[in-house]
Amino acid sequence: ASYSQKTYAARGREHTHPLACELFATMERKQSNLSLAADVTTKAELIALADRVGPFICVLKTHVDIISDFDSDLVVQLQALAAKHDFLIFEDRKFADIGNTVKLQYGGGIYRIADWAHITNCHVIPGEGIIQGLAEVGMPKNRGLLLLAEMSSKGMLATGEYTARNVEMAVDNPFVIGFIGSRRFTEARDLITMTPGVGLHASGDALGQQYRTPETIVAENGSDIIIVGRGIYGPGKDPVAEAERYRAAGWAAYERRLQR
Ligand code: 5IU
**Contact in structure between 123 and 130 (CB atoms under 8 Å):** yes
**Contact in structure between 17 and 174 (CB atoms under 8 Å):** yes
* Residues whose beta carbon lies within 6 Å of some atom of ligand 1: 37, 39, 63, 92, 148, 151-153, 180, 196-197, 209, 227-231
pLDDT of residue 157: 95
Q: Which of 6, 51, 86, 97 is catalytic?
A: 97
Query: Is 94 a catalytic site residue?
Result: yes
Q: Tell whether the model's pLDDT for residue 1 goes beyond 90.
A: no
Phi, psi of 170 (to 5 degrees): -65, -45
How confident is the prediction for the chain on average, in pLDDT? 97
The whole-number average pLDDT for the span 250-258 is 98
Q: How far is residue 64's CA from residue 46's CA, in Å, rounded to a whole number?
A: 10
Q: What is the pLDDT of residues 100-120, one digit of tens each?
A: 999 999 999 999 999 999 999
Q: Is 86 annotated as a binding residue?
A: no
The answer for residues whose C-beta is within 8 angstroms of residue 12's C-beta and 6 or more apart is 20, 21, 22, 23, 24, 25, 27, 28
The whole-number average pLDDT for the span 24-46 is 98
Q: What is the pTM of this model?
A: 0.97
The whole-number average pLDDT for the span 229-236 is 97
Q: Tell whether the model's pLDDT for residue 79 goes beyond 90.
A: yes
